[in-house]
């Protein structure tokens, strides 16, 4: 498998000079809890297939609570659910969405005394522009968004490009077509990058061009899917799948012949992201939420998480202790040749255009 590489440190340094999100709206009050204190069962809102299932019952047994899991397909879907009254204790939004949630007063500040394992995070994950400090979030995992490719269909000498999902001349030759993420920022961003723009472009004409590109590619797009894309790829249902690094790698690793597949970053650019654990201001059990976050930031539990889902670990204590599989460390640590990785930024009032244009591309 082609090794995925990235300049993580450089990217994170670049993030520090981005325009800040500003202060939070009033309404997100601090909650003080004792270390290990629980105040009820936990409602956990996460991306699907993103946590070792053994970690949940182990937490339930240790703390004497029940964890109810619910899942979302995109940051925008998660935000809409919270805004419509959904009540959760721990949620896992991506970088730019943390900034939006802070701005809207949707988050409770972390009680650092109840989450001492924040110190296990690598320094670069403890000072980020969407949440300096951090005050409201704790890094969960990080990775990239690229393409999983069936080499038996596409060929060994293919060009790693977003053309593999957006060029009808290519996709029309692929049995089963391709799978594209059901995510406005990721898929509109991929189209923008293919057209030579940044994934945070705020020119409406460029966004319309990206929308029209997706429309023109629709005949070759078998599905818009953020859950089962790696399974569809390795089962031969699609020839190319747009998706997240860890899901792709674990999916390819489960194939009868992993050498038949590859995960690549398109030459036009790809997304680098950081997912985070946050506590909504409306949480019923904020102390249990802090206990859960602290539990997942434990070095052994953090390693268990990463070794199961194959995403990058921000848990430096786990890496220093040799608990993270070296294959995973190496996969995310090579910084020699990564180019043009981009981070999704909060574009403020313009955000709704990504959602609207994406919906139009699918209608």
How far apart are the two ends of the chain, measured CA to CA in Å? 36
| 32 DSSP assignment | -
Q: 217 and 74 in one domain?
A: no
Identify which of 239, 286, 245 has the alpha carbon closest to the alpha carbon of residue 41. 286
Whether residues 332 and 289 share a domain: the answer is yes
**126 and 152 belong to one structural domain:** no
Task: Tell whether 228 and 354 lie within a shared domain.
Answer: yes
- Regarding whether 151 and 119 lie in a shared domain, the answer is no
pTM of the predicted protein model: 0.89
What Å distances lie between residue 180 and 81, 177, 230, CA to CA? 22, 10, 11
Is residue 2 domain-resident? no
pLDDT class of 190 with cuts at 50, 70, 90? very high
Of 311, 76, 79, 88, the residue nearest 182 (C-alpha): 76
Residues 6+ apart with CB under 8 A from 266: 146, 147, 160, 161, 162, 164, 190, 193, 194
Helices 299-309, 286-296: inter-axial angle, 10-degree rounding: 70
Place 133 in a pLDDT band, splitting at 50, 70 and 90.
Answer: confident
Q: Indicate if 164 and 280 belong to the same structural domain.
A: no
Q: What average pLDDT does the structure give for the chain? A: 91
Kindly state whether residue 227 falls inside one of the protein's structural domains: yes
Give dist(CA 241, CA 179) in Å, integer. Answer: 5
In a domain, 287, yes or no: yes
Give the side-chain half-sphere CA count within 13 A for 3. 14
207 and 351 belong to one structural domain: yes
Within this chain, do residues 236 and 291 fall inside the same structural domain, yes or no?
no
Do the domain assignments include residue 26?
no
pLDDT at residue 44 is higher than 90: yes
Structural domain contains residue 89:
yes
Closest alpha carbon to 90 in 127, 54, 56, 53: 56
- Give the separation between CA 218 and CA 168, rounded to whole angstroms: 8
Q: Specify whether 322 is located in the same domain as 204.
A: no
Residue 96 shares a structural domain with residue 150: no
DSSP 303-357: HHHHHHH-PBP-BHHHHHTT-S-HHHHHHHH--SS---EE-----GGGHHHHHHH
The number of beta carbons lying within 10 Å of the beta carbon of residue 166 is: 25
The least confident of 32-46, 62-76, 339-353 is: 339-353
Phi, psi of 148 (to 5 degrees): -95, 135
The predicted structure's pLDDT at residue 331 = 84
Per-residue pLDDT, 11: 47
Write the DSSP assignment of 67-129 as a string of letters: EEEEEESSHHHHHHHHHTT---SEE--BHHHHHHHHHTT-BPPP-TTT-GGGGGB-GGGSSBT
Q: What pLDDT is recorded for position 28?
A: 65
Maximal CA-CA distance, the chain: 60
**Percent of the residues in the chain that have a pLDDT greater than 70, as a whole number:** 91
pLDDT tens digits along 308-336? 999 999 999 999 999 999 989 988 875 33
Looking at residue 226, what DSSP letter applies?
S
Residue with tokens 């005050």: 135
Going by C-beta distance under 8 Å and a sequence separation of 6 or more, which residues neighbour residue 243? 145, 146, 147, 148, 179, 181, 226, 229, 230
Provide the pLDDT confidence category of residue 76 given band limits of 50, 70 and 90: very high
Is residue 82 in some structural domain?
A: yes
Q: Which of 18-22, 135-139, 239-243 has the lowest mean pLDDT?
A: 18-22
CB within 8 A of 234, min separation 6: which ones? 251, 252, 254, 255, 261
Contacting residues for 237 by C-beta, under 8 A, at least 6 apart: 176, 222, 231
Q: Is residue 24's pLDDT more than 70?
A: no
Q: Please report whether residue 321 resides in a domain.
A: yes
Query: Are 175 and 230 in the same domain?
Result: yes
Quick one: DSSP state of residue 4?
P
Would residue 237 count as lying in a domain? yes
Is pLDDT at 356 greater than 60 in this prediction? yes
Residue 137: CATH number of its domain: 3.40.190.10
The residue among 35, 41, 101, 32 whose CA lies nearest residue 67 is 41
Q: Are residues 351 and 224 in the same domain?
A: yes
Q: Could you give the number of structural domains in the chain? A: 2
Q: How far is CA 52 from the centre of its chain?
A: 16
Could you tell me the residue range of the domain that residue 261 belongs to?
A: 144-265+345-358
Counting Cα atoms < 13 Å in the Cβ hemisphere of 294 gives: 22
């Amino acid at each position: 498998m082609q090794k995925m590489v990235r300049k993580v440190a450089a990217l994170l340094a670049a993030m520090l000079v981005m325009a800040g999100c500003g202060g939070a709206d009033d309404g997100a009050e601090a909650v003080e809890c004792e270390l290990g204190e629980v105040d009820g069962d936990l409602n956990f809102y996460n991306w699907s297939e993103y946590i070792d299932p053994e970690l949940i019952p182990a937490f339930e047994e240790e703390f004497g609570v029940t964890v109810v899991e619910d899942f979302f397909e995109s940051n925008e879907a998660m935000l809409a659910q919270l805004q419509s009254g959904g009540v959760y204790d721990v949620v896992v939004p991506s970088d730019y969405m943390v900034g939006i949630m802070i701005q809207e007063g949707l988050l409770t500040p972390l009680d650092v005394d109840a989450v001492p394992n924040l110190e296990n995070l690598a320094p670069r994950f403890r000072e980020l522009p969407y949440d300096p400090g951090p005050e409201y979030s704790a890094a969960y995992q990080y990775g990239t968004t690229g393409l999983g490719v069936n080499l038996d269909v596409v060929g060994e000498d293919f060009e790693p490009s977003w053309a593999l999902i957006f060029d009808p001349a290519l996709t029309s030759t692929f049995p089963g077509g391709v799978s594209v993420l059901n995510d406005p920022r990721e898929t509109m961003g991929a189209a923008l990058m293919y057209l030579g723009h940044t994934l945070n472009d705020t020119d409406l004409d460029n966004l319309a061009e990206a929308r029209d590109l997706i429309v023109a590619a629709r005949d070759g797009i078998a599905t818009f899917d953020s859950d089962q894309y790696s399974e569809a790829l390795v089962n031969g249902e699609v020839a190319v799948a747009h998706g997240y690094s860890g899901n792709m790698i674990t999916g390819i690793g489960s194939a009868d012949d992993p050498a038949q597949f590859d995960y690549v970053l398109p030459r036009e650019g790809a997304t680098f992201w950081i997912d985070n654990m946050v506590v909504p201001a409306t949480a019923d059990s904020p102390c249990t939420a802090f206990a859960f976050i602290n539990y997942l930031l434990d070095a052994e539990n953090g390693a268990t998480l990463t070794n199961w889902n194959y995403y990058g670990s921000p848990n430096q204590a786990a890496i220093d202790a040799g608990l993270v599989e070296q294959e995973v460390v190496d996969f995310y640590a090579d910084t020699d040749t990564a180019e043009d990785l981009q981070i999704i930024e909060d574009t403020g009032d313009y955000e709704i255009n990504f959602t609207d244009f994406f919906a139009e591309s699918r209608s």
